[in-house]
């Protein structure tokens, strides 16, 4: 049998947890050393760089950017606080996140013990489930990988598991099975609910699509769960207040700047549109004309919305516009949308790890310890599904598990699937997988082979289904593109060229891959190849002003002045302030090269009309007028 009547003599839970935590510490120390010594140790994606720069500004005393919040604020605030205390290096936030990863394993262990707490016929012992679940969490490489990234994912995973463990405890308290205590003092349901709400409120600042669902669902569940003794109202009220403490500031901040209700951030509409437009595969693929990074996509979405509507728009209006546009596409073909939802549901359990920013395959080349973490999602998912079936059969903790897993799935179905969005749900599936493993071992020890064989066959069938990767076309082009940008920043043109060439080879139709390769070819003085690629990119993204300026500058270098000036003038009409100023400067440079000094002066004066406080423009005008 898995657990004996006297587990103290055969199995020591504290010793097992200690051994697992020691292994987790060793793995994370090795990972920290390897990522610090690798070529990619300081390599940041565009999103991570935005968080780093914003956090640095906040640590220095700056205010949030003007306008409503257009990003998830949890991580910049966390990073800014860390920078304020420890300086602006990456080591401190990585260490804190790795420590949170270790605490997540502890929480998974305690959830494994709690999810089977209490005697029940046919139920495996928590003494067996807890270490199996913790071991699987330790051996899942994505947890360790994301703990080393400058992203909020590890915080989100920790907060969700903490909320799950607390919900299990609240469930037992409200049903009278186990009273929540600190020492000998009972914890009130109101206080427990407030702490649960606080976890979800904080989580909403990092992953609104998931935690806002929990903020709504948990009070309803608490009222329903405690309805017999009318105790759920206390916990539900505490939950609402706890969440409101952290949600009220961003809501008030956005209301002051927009005059309307904006929960947390203004970029939900474009993400909803990307995940539900006709022809979507359920993955993140920005529409033509939009960049793939967070800030670029938000800017391009605003430009596209304003062009399509013919008037300027605020960021909340842009979000509403794309939300309505997505609903219009759904109404136009509801059958296709339902098929898309079904596809996203299958993708949620698919074994393919769809990369968003970091890619575990990519980092394994520099951080060999990740290769030792061998438990894949393709194993966790089928075992987790079977564990859910067994758990429903035993009738214990079904509502808590269903609530959290259901919200996690709905948060994906409403948008799109990738590893980063799915990761907070993985601990729940790991707990269910461990439950199934312990149940199967217990049934075998009791010689109940028929039911185990049936469930094993189901697990194998599910494994074959979720490990079938043809429905997801894995492409590492984005990872190589980010690596190329990192090498560019470090003036390693040779390695940057190799990375961008590989990114282009893997995705020759991707606009970002085309632009990046065109840029590096220009730096390598392969001008004709570069201009051919710029033309392809411009034909795909004619509304991307900065691309038009780059393309025009190269055309001017090749002697095609007239075509270059056409692109500069186009940007002057359609670009933003910074781009308009740059267009004027390029037009002035072109005029000077042609010996037209008065024309160049007029262009700089026009730039000063656009940006009258720009001292560099004033100095440039003075030099041109004096003939220097």
Note the Cα 316 to chain centre separation in Å.
21
Residue 577's pLDDT is what?
Answer: 83
Residue 267's pLDDT is what?
Answer: 77
What does the DSSP 8-state code read for residue 374? B
157 phi, psi to nearest 5 deg: -60, -45
Decide if 405 contacts 425 (C-beta within 8 A). Answer: yes
Residue 471's pLDDT is what?
Answer: 65
Residue 613's pLDDT is what?
Answer: 81
Predicted confidence (pLDDT) per residue in 9-63, tens digit: 555 777 889 999 999 999 999 999 999 888 777 778 778 888 999 999 999 988 8
The reported pTM is 0.82
181 phi, psi to nearest 5 deg: -140, 155
Decide if 571 contacts 549 (C-beta within 8 A). Answer: yes
Q: Three-state secondary structure along 324-356? A: HHHHHHHHHCHHHHHHHHHHHHHHHHCCCCCCC
Q: What is the mean pLDDT of each run of 10 residues along the chain (628 residues)?
A: 44 83 96 86 80 92 85 93 93 96 96 71 71 96 93 96 94 76 78 95 94 95 80 90 95 89 84 87 79 74 85 86 91 93 91 74 82 93 93 82 95 90 95 93 87 90 76 71 80 88 87 89 92 90 83 91 90 82 90 88 89 84 78
Predicted confidence (pLDDT) per residue in 408-439, tens digit: 999 999 988 888 899 999 999 999 999 999 98
Smallest CA-to-CA distance from 404 within 211, 250, 581, 597 is with 211
Domains of the chain are: 7-263+352-471 (no CATH), 477-543 (1.25.40.10), 551-628 (1.25.40.10)
């Amino acid at each position: 049998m898995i657990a004996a009547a006297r587990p103290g003599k055969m199995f020591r839970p504290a010793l097992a947890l200690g051994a697992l935590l020691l292994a987790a510490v060793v793995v994370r120390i090795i990972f920290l050393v390897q990522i610090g010594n690798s070529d990619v140790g300081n390599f940041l994606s565009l999103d991570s760089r935005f968080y780093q720069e914003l956090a640095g500004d906040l640590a220095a005393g700056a205010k949030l950017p003007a306008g409503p919040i257009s990003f998830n604020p949890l991580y910049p605030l966390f990073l800014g606080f860390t920078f304020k205390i420890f300086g602006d290096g990456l080591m401190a936030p990585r260490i804190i996140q790795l420590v949170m990863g270790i605490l997540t394993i502890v929480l998974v262990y305690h959830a494994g013990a709690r999810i089977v707490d209490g005697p029940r016929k046919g139920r495996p012992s928590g003494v067996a489930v807890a270490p199996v679940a913790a071991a699987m969490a330790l051996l899942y490489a994505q947890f360790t990988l994301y703990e080393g990234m400058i992203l909020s994912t590890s915080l989100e995973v920790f907060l969700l598991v903490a909320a799950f463990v607390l919900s299990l405890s609240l469930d037992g308290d409200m049903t009278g099975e186990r009273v929540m205590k600190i020492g000998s003092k009972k914890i009130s349901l109101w206080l427990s609910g407030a702490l649960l709400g606080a976890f979800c409120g904080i989580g909403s600042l990092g992953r609104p699509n998931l935690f806002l669902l929990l903020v709504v669902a948990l009070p309803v569940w608490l009222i329903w769960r405690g309805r017999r003794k009318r105790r759920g109202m206390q916990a539900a009220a505490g939950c609402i207040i706890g969440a409101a403490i952290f949600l009220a500031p961003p809501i008030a901040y956005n209301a002051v700047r927009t005059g309307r209700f904006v929960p947390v951030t203004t970029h939900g509409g474009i993400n909803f549109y990307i995940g539900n437009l006709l022809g979507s595969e359920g993955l993140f693929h920005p529409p033509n004309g939009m960049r793939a990074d967070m800030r670029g996509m938000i800017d391009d979405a605003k430009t596209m919305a304003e062009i399509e509507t013919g008037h300027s728009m605020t960021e909340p209006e842009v979000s509403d516009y794309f939300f309505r546009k997505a609903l219009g596409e759904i109404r136009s073909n509801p059958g296709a949308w339902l098929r898309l939802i079904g596809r996203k549901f299958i993708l949620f359990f698919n074994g393919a790890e769809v990369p968003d920013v970091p890619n575990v395959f990519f980092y394994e080349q520099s951080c060999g310890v990740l290769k030792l973490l061998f438990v894949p999602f393709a194993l966790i998912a089928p075992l987790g599904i079977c564990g859910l079936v067994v758990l429903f059969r035993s009738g214990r903790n079904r509502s808590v598990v269903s609530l959290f897993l259901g919200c996690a799935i709905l948060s994906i179905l409403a948008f799109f699937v990738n590893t980063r969005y799915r990761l907070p749900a993985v601990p729940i599936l790991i707990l269910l997988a461990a439950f199934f493993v312990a149940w199967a071992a217990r049934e075998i020890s009791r010689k109940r082979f028929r039911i185990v064989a049936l469930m094993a066959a189901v697990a194998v069938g599910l494994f074959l289904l979720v490990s079938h990767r043809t429905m997801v076309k894995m492409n590492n082009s984005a990872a190589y593109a980010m690596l190329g940008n990192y090498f560019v920043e470090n003036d390693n043109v040779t390695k940057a060229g190799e990375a961008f060439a590989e990114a282009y080879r893997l995705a020759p139709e991707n606009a970002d891959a085309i632009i990046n390769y065109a840029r590096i070819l220009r730096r390598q003085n392969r001008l004709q190849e570069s201009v051919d690629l710029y033309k392809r990119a411009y034909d795909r993204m004619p509304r991307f002003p900065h691309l038009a300026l780059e393309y025009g500058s190269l055309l001017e270098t090749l002697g095609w002045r007239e075509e270059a000036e056409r692109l500069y003038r186009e940007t002057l009409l359609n670009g933003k302030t910074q781009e308009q100023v740059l267009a004027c400067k390029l037009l002035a440079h072109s005029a000077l090269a042609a010996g037209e000094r008065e024309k160049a002066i007029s262009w700089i004066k026009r730039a000063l009309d656009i940006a009258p406080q720009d001292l560099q423009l004033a100095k440039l005008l003075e030099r041109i007028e004096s003939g220097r």
